[in-house]
């Protein structure tokens, strides 16, 4: 069920840590590759040797144990398809919510861009602590709330780790949810660059992040993605780098032909300089210079017109709920 998937299991220092040995076996039975990362405190509850044997991989704890050219936290964040932190202590939850990265596990969580599941487990009073609840609300992840019952600390209340089946099922759901599979989506991003002369241009402050986030989301939801962008982007899907509105228009028209959906997130300049000087414009004795601008083509309008000619096909919408599902509850800013 999970073959080809790498699950990063993060274990923190809670009494329920021993239960994660069984969760690892469940993932292994489903053919997943498991990487275990523990906090130092987790090793008070479960041994590295056990986790290593069950996962079939070395267990990582120390952030500065760098073997590769890449720091461990980035290398693990890149390798895994999903991160599952279970049990998640009040301490680790609060650290992640505050952006604190003082060990390998919290550093990975901060760098992780794919879905994250958090399964908290703790004493019921810790669970009800308003500070903990406030921190949990800050995390836009998939939170699997603890269950009520008899707790290891002797209390009775909400705080027991949810069932392993629930964690397993949510992992499968997030890893296999591909509603856009078989669909081709074209996304534009970044601000266009309009030359004035060989060394000067006009542009805008668009970061290109919105289009990139949408492209990553669509890819993870199973779409075949083409990102047309003015930014330098390195991704495993098709990325076409363009500069001006005209270059973007040409790329959109070519790519849009066989696609199911286009999302225009680029900030395309409305105007361009009428005549681009072939040489660097020299400073003159004049206090003012005048540049004449002409209107750029409306890329979206043209693409839509082309689409209307080729009906039917533009029927796909990327729902915010899809974006949320992809990254747990993480929202796009």
Q: Does 39 bind ligand FMN (CB under 6 A)?
A: yes
DSSP readout, 189-217?
A: ESB--EEEETTEEE-----SHHHHHHHHH
Helix (H) and strand (E) counts in the chain: 12, 15
Does the annotation count 153 as an active-site position? yes
Q: Does 12 bind ligand FMN (CB under 6 A)?
A: yes
Q: Does 41 bind ligand FMN (CB under 6 A)?
A: yes
Shortest Å distance, C-beta 96 to ligand FMN = 10
Of the residues 77, 116, 121, 265, which one makes contact with ligand FMN according to CB under 6 A: 121
Q: Does 136 bind ligand FMN (CB under 6 A)?
A: no
Residue 45: phi and psi, rounded to 5, are -110, -25
Q: Which residues pair with 273 in a beta bridge?
A: 293
DSSP readout, 131-155?
A: HHHHHHHH--SEE-PPEEEE-TTS-
Instruction: Pull the structure tokens for residue 286.
Output: 């004049």
Region from 14-22, 55-63, 167-175, 176-184 binding ligand FMN, contact rule CB under 6 A: 14-22
Counted residue by residue, the chain has a size of 333
Instruction: Pull the structure tokens for residue 57.
Output: 């991989």
Of the residues 24, 36, 90, 261, which one makes contact with ligand FMN according to CB under 6 A: 90
Among 97, 149, 93, residue whose Cα is nearest residue 120? 93
Q: Does 91 bind ligand FMN (CB under 6 A)?
A: yes
Our CB check for ligand FMN shows the closer of 41 and 204 to be: 41
Of the residues 33, 55, 75, 89, which one makes contact with ligand FMN according to CB under 6 A: 89
Chain contacts with ligand FMN (rule: CB under 6 A): 12-16, 39, 41-42, 89-92, 121-122, 126
Q: Which residues have a catalytic role annotated?
A: 153
């Amino acid at each position: 069920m999970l073959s080809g998937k790498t699950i990063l299991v993060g274990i923190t220092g809670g009494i329920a840590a021993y239960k994660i040995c069984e969760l690892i076996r469940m993932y292994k039975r489903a053919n997943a590759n498991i990487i275990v990362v523990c906090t130092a405190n987790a090793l008070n509850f479960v041994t590295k040797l056990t986790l290593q044997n069950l996962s079939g991989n070395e267990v990582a704890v120390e952030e500065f144990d760098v073997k590769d050219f890449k720091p461990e936290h980035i290398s693990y964040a890149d390798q895994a398809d999903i991160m599952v932190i279970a049990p998640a202590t009040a301490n680790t939850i609060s650290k992640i919510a505050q952006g604190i990265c003082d060990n390998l596990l919290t550093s990975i969580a901060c760098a992780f861009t794919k879905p994250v599941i958090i399964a908290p487990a703790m004493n019921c009073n810790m669970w009800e602590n308003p500070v903990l609840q406030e921190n949990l609300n800050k995390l836009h992840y998939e939170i699997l709330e603890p269950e009520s019952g008899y707790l290891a600390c002797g209390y009775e209340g909400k705080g027991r780790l949810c069932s392993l089946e629930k964690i397993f099922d949510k992992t499968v759901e997030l890893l296999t949810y591909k509603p856009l599979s078989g669909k081709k989506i074209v996304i534009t991003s970044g601000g266009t660059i309009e030359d004035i002369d060989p060394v000067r241009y006009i542009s805008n402050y668009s970061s290109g992040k919105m289009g990139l986030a949408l492209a990553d989301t669509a890819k993870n939801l199973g779409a075949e993605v083409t990102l047309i962008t003015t930014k330098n982007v390195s991704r495993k899907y098709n990325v076409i780098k363009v500069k001006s509105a005209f270059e973007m228009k040409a790329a959109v028209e070519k790519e849009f032909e066989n696609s199911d959906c286009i999302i225009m997130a680029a900030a395309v300049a409305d105007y361009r300089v009428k005549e681009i000087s072939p040489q660097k414009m020299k400073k003159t004795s004049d206090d003012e210079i005048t540049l004449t601008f002409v209107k750029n083509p409306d890329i979206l309008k043209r693409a839509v017109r082309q689409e209307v000619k080729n009906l039917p096909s533009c029927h796909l919408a990327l729902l915010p709920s899809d974006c949320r599902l992809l990254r747990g509850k993480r929202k796009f800013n």
